[in-house]
Structure 1
Amino acid sequence: MSTSTPAPPGTSGTPGSPGENSEPRLPLIIRAMGVIERAGNALPHPFWLFWILSGILAVVSAVLAAADVSVVSPADDKTVVVQNLLSGDGLAMAVSTMIENFATFPPMATIVVVIMGVAVAERSGFLAALMRVGVSRVPASWVVFAVAFAGTVAHVASAAAYIILVPLGGLAFRAVGKSPILGIVVAYTAIASGYDASPLPTPNDAIFAGITTAAAQIVGGDDAYVSPLSNWFFNIASSLLLAIVITLVTKYVLSKRPDLDADPDAELDDLGRLTLSDRERSALRRAVGTLLAAVVVMTALLLPTSSPLRGDGGSIVESPFLDGIAAVVAFLFGLVGIVYGLRSGSIKKAADVPRLMAEGIKQMAPVLVLFFAIAQFLAYFDWTHMGDVLAVKAAEALQSSGLPIVVVFLLILLLLTLVNVMVTSGSAMWALAAPVLVPMLMLVSVPAETTQALFRIADSGSTAITPMSPYFIMALGFLQRYRKSAGIGTLASYTLPLAVAMTVAWTLLFLAWWAMGIPLGPGAPVR
């Protein structure tokens, strides 16, 4: 004998409507995430995507060259003609410059140097210890802000930030009597949707600055240069703002949800992981003390106007110090990592240091492989002069349209945010967008550093809600330790309010920054 379950209120068994024998209709957010996931999975790997785009670029350049498309460069009033990448000259250029394109790709050397230093700090255990102490020694009322702000600081560890801080977020919340599920969500969203808002210089700063420099040189010539610290002031303010927004949305929205309890049979972690051993605490104190001493020494070296680290006329903005800031950052990370490792025991002999550096480079190998394809695409794009044509034509269209520049900013932000849902690699997306957006806005008097700051918002905001990010799946795995039934839609529904609020608040901060004309970083005017 069989029994039937009554249909939910508002449903019936009529054709075309969900009845008692039909599957329940999935919530909109889950269906939307499913569409995004399927569409994103259909995209090729970014490495092949750039080679496909290079092929498309070659065909388009041939068509435009045949049509004698040209523009007059506002930089020097010379006529710039599109060159055919499929011509003999184009083929010769592509073959003869392939190695040079890769070797001189702006982010290449910078990111390798920075990663070597960061790798020592991360793999010695320094960064993990810093995060653990940061989220464990705060009052219960401050734990949300502490985890959120730690998420922005954690970006110095690149991808390791997810592995270290997301589970720690669950532990920290549970330690003060809050939902560990909420802790997982807060930590993951702070890292993912605030990824480009770190108060400390990160490897991403070096990557973005290199790509922006290459794009700026399309119309600004070889002298155009964007420093890894070009958005530093804006990043510091952004990290504080986003931590506050996460705290408020968590308190007034997410904490009101009825589904925050962990499964009764969930295997909870040992709270001891939040604490440091006596040896680790001693190592951390020594490392932080060494860092402060190094900063004091560097400051003392920079104070005299005649310092060799200053530029002409005693300038700090245009100086050897800022020119070599990537090496300075790498040195500081490496120094504290060595001091921590020697005291904690993670570094036992001198040979361990280069080994840790090599492990860091090994972790970056997929990015370096992607750089090879990106470097060729950008070189081809520059050689064809299509960047000049697009930039000038788009700038002329902007000027004739009469659109306020703020409206242009919002349209660009919306477009990049939608693209970021599909192309979650920040370096890949910026390599696609920068050669067009940076020169275009430079021609209407918007500095390259400002366009890069705008990109940061789009590159981060939607990352926490897209299942295309591998770290989304990683965070889901941590979440399922507390709730086995959690799926893609579950995590997305938790992160969506946070991601939307963060994007809106961050955009408003950018517009206010622009309106007030505050420099984005050392020597980087916003307009």
Structure 2
Amino acid sequence: MTNTSARLPTTEPQDTERLPRLLRAMGAIERVGNALPHPFWLFWILAIALGLASAILSWTDVSVTSPADGKVVEIHNLFSGAGLQMAVSTAIDNFAEFPPMATIVVVIMGVALAERTGFLQAVMRVSISRVPTSMIVFAVAFAGTMAHVASAAAYVILVPLGGLAFRAVGRSPILGIVVAYTAIASGYDASPIPTPNDAIFAGITTAAAKTIDPEAYVSPLSNWFFNIASSIVLATVITVVTKLVLSRRSDLEPDADADLGDIKDLQIDRKERRALRIAGLSLLAAIAVLVIILIPQSSPLRGEHGSLTDSPFLDGIAMIVAALFALTGIIYGGMTGSLRKPGDVPKMMAEGIRQMAPVLVLFFAIAQFLAYFDWTGVGDLVSAASARALGDLGAPPVVLFLGILLALTIINLLVTSGSAMWSLTAPILVPMMLLLHVPAETTQALFRIADSGSTAITPMSPYFVMALGFLQRYRKSAGVGTLASYTIPLAISMTVTWTVLFLVWWALGIPLGPGAPVR
């Protein structure tokens, strides 16, 4: 990469007043979103609404045939004495046994070591600092899809690095900010590397699927094959749209007095480079050992009859992923000095858990709501009625898929927390689609597309505001409409292409992940 501080010719910034409809739409989304309560309170409000619905349905003697075993299930009144008894006596168990709980805590402990020792930051810097100029857009975009292993820290680390990387090759740092932010936001659920989100979504999907099949289990790797292909396709789409559309805009030059940052921030020193190399080789060696252990049919990590799809390996994949992250973090931190003593390991793990505290608090409300939903029988009623109605319509699966994508995309504009949105919609969508013979893993893949695509354009996302702050380092006059006008062409193109990829994937019957058929 050639370092240069030369500026491109200065041009007048585009007047955002040319986008009145866009600004009005963004303003409406922001107003409606701001009117919504915090997701924690939203689930308690929904629990009250569920209680009212269950009381009315119970008083009118509404019943439903259980989709699980064909038996008639009566609707139970959540506001009855039995409902109060259930809510009080099961609250702790609901929280403790909530599927994503233990999984996400274990994964985060490993990821926290890799992040806080500086290993993940070094990987991101190296991934975009040693590529030819012609590949810089793809490199930043693909790094954005991989950055999700660092969860929310991906925005803090990669977005400003994207601006520096573009400036280093003589391109607009504003464009680098936009590419990095959109790749992370609108490709958030397409990581080729297993992330904490995979564990969260799989746990929520498992809980929803159990209403139909008590033995259901959705692995954190259930969409892995699809995620790998998606990350490559989305990075390619970003590259093409950036070249054909965004690069031709006339407002890509930063302000004359903008602080362009130090290109040296992209570089790593000799100690870091050596530590990164050793940590990487150690990771490869650990994976090789794991593969060797898995090869024999009699491997203790295989299941009955040598199965890999139903095996201790997949059951414990969260622990394995956490251990691999921890290994790289410990080696890298020990060699660079960011990990000074053994006592720093649990301290860093605890810091990672502390960062997840808001999510764990939200999980408490979600776990209670889902337990109430299951106990009242309202979930069975809605799922069975919806599946029956859709079955009577005789609509082809593609139409159902597109309808689900559209509905979830609209919800995502307002409820930007992926775990909150999936917790809200999975109890309806997963059982409904299972009754229509669509696997839970397939419905989850649809959710991934909707949960990611519109994230880059909604001002309700806290990371939209964060990205705007980074953009304003280069142009002080930039506003919500400015950033949205950059991200909308990318987000729409990514969503459309990702949807087409899913439909082709489904039509060809390619497994979504290990032991996860698409249909």
TM-score, scaled relative to structure 1: 0.95
2:275 is equivalent to residue 287 of structure 1: no
Residue 242 of structure 1: SS of its match in structure 2? helix
1:42-78: CA deviation from partner (whole Å, max 9, x where unpaired): 1100000000000000000000111111122243221
Partner of 2:331 in structure 1?
A: 339
Residue 77 of structure 1: SS of its match in structure 2? coil
Corresponding letter in the other structure for 2:389? A
Matches within 5 A, 1:233-272: 233-272=225-264
Partner of 1:16 in structure 2?
A: none
Output the CA distance in 1 between the equivalents of 2:437 and 2:177.
43
Output the CA distance in 2 between the equivalents of 1:307 and 1:139.
44
Output the CA distance in 2 between the equivalents of 1:26 and 1:421.
19
Aligned identity (percent) is 73
Output the CA distance in 2 between the equivalents of 1:414 and 1:55.
27
Partner of 1:512 in structure 2?
A: 504
Output the CA distance in 1 between the equivalents of 2:31 and 2:223.
35
Matches within 5 A, 1:12-51: 27-51=20-44
Unaligned runs of 5+ in 2: 1-16
1:286-338: CA deviation from partner (whole Å, max 9, x where unpaired): 11010001001101111111111111111111111110000000000000000
Output the CA distance in 2 between the equivalents of 1:501 and 1:74.
38
Partner of 1:449 in structure 2?
A: 441
Aligned partner (choices 455, 459, 477) of residue 469 of structure 2: 477
Aligned length: 504
Corresponding letter in the other structure for 1:161? A
Output the CA distance in 2 between the equivalents of 1:285 and 1:76.
55
Output the CA distance in 2 between the equivalents of 1:193 and 1:25.
24
Corresponding letter in the other structure for 1:400? D
Output the CA distance in 1 between the equivalents of 2:147 and 2:108.
14
Residue 80 of structure 1: SS of its match in structure 2? strand
1:69-117: CA deviation from partner (whole Å, max 9, x where unpaired): 1122243221011111011100000011111100000000000000000
Corresponding letter in the other structure for 2:102? A
Output the CA distance in 1 between the equivalents of 2:142 and 2:250.
26
* 4+ residue segments displaced more than 2 Å: none
Partner of 1:170 in structure 2?
A: 163
**Conserved in 1, the CA contact under 8 Å of 2:78 and 2:376?**
yes
**Conserved in 1, the CA contact under 8 Å of 2:117 and 2:333?**
yes
Residue 352 of structure 2: SS of its match in structure 1? helix
1:441-478: CA deviation from partner (whole Å, max 9, x where unpaired): 00010000000000000000000000000000000000
Partner of 1:14 in structure 2?
A: none
**Conserved in 1, the CA contact under 8 Å of 2:19 and 2:481?**
no
Residue 513 of structure 1: SS of its match in structure 2? helix
2:58 is equivalent to residue 97 of structure 1: no
2:459 is equivalent to residue 467 of structure 1: yes
Aligned partner (choices 125, 131, 146) of residue 132 of structure 1: 125
**Conserved in 1, the CA contact under 8 Å of 2:67 and 2:380?**
no
Partner of 1:13 in structure 2?
A: none
Output the CA distance in 2 between the equivalents of 1:452 and 1:390.
19
Residue 166 of structure 1: SS of its match in structure 2? helix
Aligned partner (choices 366, 386, 404) of residue 394 of structure 1: 386
Matches within 5 A, 1:404-419: 404-419=396-411
Corresponding letter in the other structure for 2:260? L
Output the CA distance in 2 between the equivalents of 1:448 and 1:74.
15
Output the CA distance in 1 between the equivalents of 2:195 and 2:207.
19
Partner of 1:12 in structure 2?
A: none
Is 435-444 or 77-86 further displaced after alignment?
77-86
2:195 is equivalent to residue 192 of structure 1: no
Partner of 1:325 in structure 2?
A: 317
Output the CA distance in 1 between the equivalents of 2:18 and 2:195.
44
Partner of 2:111 in structure 1?
A: 118
Matches within 5 A, 1:46-57: 46-57=39-50
Q: 1:184 to 1:25 in 2, by over 3 A?
A: closer
Partner of 1:440 in structure 2?
A: 432
Q: What CA RMSD, in Å, does the superposition of the two structures yield over aligned residues?
A: 1.0
Output the CA distance in 1 between the equivalents of 2:259 and 2:159.
17
Output the CA distance in 1 between the equivalents of 2:20 and 2:390.
40
1:206-245: CA deviation from partner (whole Å, max 9, x where unpaired): 0000000000001112x11100000000000000000000
Corresponding letter in the other structure for 2:105? V
Corresponding letter in the other structure for 1:249? V
Partner of 2:288 in structure 1?
A: 296
Partner of 2:195 in structure 1?
A: 202
Partner of 1:378 in structure 2?
A: 370
Partner of 2:9 in structure 1?
A: none
Output the CA distance in 2 between the equivalents of 1:484 and 1:30.
18
Output the CA distance in 2 between the equivalents of 1:81 and 1:114.
39
Output the CA distance in 2 between the equivalents of 1:510 and 1:484.
40
Q: 1:427 to 1:304 in 2, by over 3 A?
A: same
Corresponding letter in the other structure for 2:490? L
Corresponding letter in the other structure for 1:282? R
Unaligned runs of 5+ in 1: 1-23
2:82 is equivalent to residue 81 of structure 1: no
Residue 434 of structure 1: SS of its match in structure 2? helix
Larger Rg: 1
2:378 is equivalent to residue 369 of structure 1: no
Residue 308 of structure 1: SS of its match in structure 2? coil
Partner of 1:314 in structure 2?
A: 306
Is 304-313 or 26-35 further displaced after alignment?
26-35
Aligned partner (choices 270, 276, 280) of residue 268 of structure 2: 276
Output the CA distance in 2 between the equivalents of 1:338 and 1:347.
7
TM-score, scaled relative to structure 2: 0.96
Output the CA distance in 2 between the equivalents of 1:268 and 1:193.
26
Corresponding letter in the other structure for 1:263? D
Residue 63 of structure 1: SS of its match in structure 2? helix
Output the CA distance in 2 between the equivalents of 1:82 and 1:492.
46
Is 452-461 or 25-34 further displaced after alignment?
25-34
